[in-house]
């Protein structure tokens, strides 16, 4: 097989930089033709990897959910499979696939590359600047604010940047007003801190935002909270971390196939922990659109 290995040398703030080379060497030892592309710049990595995949048979991404996001935007909706080696600070997709660690993925490379690909759903995101695909969760609320803030805290050491962004966002959470339409139904307005469209159960490194969501059911899970006072928000956030928030009467959880979100404000949209665009967006499910290689 001709295999492209795309790795992020900045994954886990640089602590996983050598994993990509190790994975590429291991795949070459198994007799495959390997092209290894390592770039910390997302746009450069996407362009180089997409070009290399023209003549390749499979894509292996090494890193966190950001690298999964890159991978699905290259091979999502095609016949070419994706294999994930989790080596990032957030590995929600790999966890959902039953891959516990980078070492487990490396140990299972031979079996995974020989296996029949699994199929999982993806999210198609249409926004004013184009179209993107996502594997996990599309967010425009608290989690998106954390991601955006972490990208802007360039003066904070990278190893604590995300934690600093969480703290800053918790201290100054921001309600926004959204116009929401699910499955083409009536439009509803929410003023909220919590707004997510989920394909996976977890995001942000294991936070169970949609505990009953599945990547194999051909459905999305929309999660919205009502407007909350600051103390109520802190209590709800504690429940979100435990995955018990869906029983709260102030939280609405709806399974759907499409979700349209708009706002009169400028709102950044994140997916798989990456900034993908701005509102308005239309999210729709792509059943079985991603072929995934993993050891059985």
Report phi then psi at 8, rounded to 5: -110, 105
Instruction: Write down which residue in 56, 91, 114 finishes a domain.
Output: 114
First to last CA, the chain: 20
Q: How far is CA 248 from the centre of its chain?
A: 25
> Residue 260 is part of which domain span?
127-288
Distances (CA, A) of 195 to 61, 151, 227, 289: 28, 20, 11, 24
Instruction: Please state the domain count of the chain.
Output: 2
- pLDDT tens string 98-142: 999 999 999 999 999 999 999 999 999 999 999 999 999 999 988
Q: Within a domain: residue 120?
A: no
- pLDDT tens string 227-266: 999 999 999 989 998 999 999 999 999 999 999 999 999 9
CB atoms within 10 A of CB 242: 10
Instruction: Write down which residue in 61, 92, 114 finishes a domain.
Output: 114
pTM over the 0.75 mark: yes
| CATH number, position 83 | 3.40.50.10330
């Amino acid at each position: 097989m001709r295999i492209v290995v795309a790795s992020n040398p900045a994954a886990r703030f640089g602590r996983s930089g050598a994993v990509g080379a190790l994975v590429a060497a291991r795949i070459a030892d198994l007799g495959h033709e390997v092209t290894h592309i390592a770039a910390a710049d997302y746009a450069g990595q996407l362009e180089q990897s997409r070009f290399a995949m023209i003549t390749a048979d499979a894509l292996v991404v090494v890193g966190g959910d950001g690298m999964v996001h890159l991978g699905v935007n290259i091979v999502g909706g095609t016949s070419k499979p994706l294999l994930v080696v989790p080596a990032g600070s957030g590995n929600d997709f790999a966890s959902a696939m039953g891959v516990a660690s980078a070492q487990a993925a490396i140990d299972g490379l031979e079996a995974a590359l020989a296996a029949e690909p699994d199929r999982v759903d993806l999210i198609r995101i249409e926004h004013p600047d184009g179209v993107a695909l996502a594997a996990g969760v599309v967010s425009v609320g608290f989690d998106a604010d954390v991601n955006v803030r972490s990208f802007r805290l360039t003066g904070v050491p990278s190893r604590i940047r995300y934690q600093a962004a969480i703290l800053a966002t918790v201290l100054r959470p921001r309600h926004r007003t959204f116009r929401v339409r699910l499955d083409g139904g009536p439009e509803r307005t929410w003023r909220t801190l919590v707004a997510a469209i989920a394909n996976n159960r977890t995001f942000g490194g294991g936070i169970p935002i949609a505990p009953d969501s599945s990547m194999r059911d051909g459905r999305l899970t929309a999660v919205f909270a009502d407007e909350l006072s600051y103390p109520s928000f802190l209590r709800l956030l504690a429940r979100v971390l435990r995955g018990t928030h869906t029983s709260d009467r102030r939280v609405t959880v709806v399974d759907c196939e499409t979700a349209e979100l708009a706002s009169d404000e400028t709102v950044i949209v994140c997916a798989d922990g990456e900034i993908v665009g701005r509102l308005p967006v239309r999210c729709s499910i792509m059943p079985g659109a991603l072929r995934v290689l993993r050891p059985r």
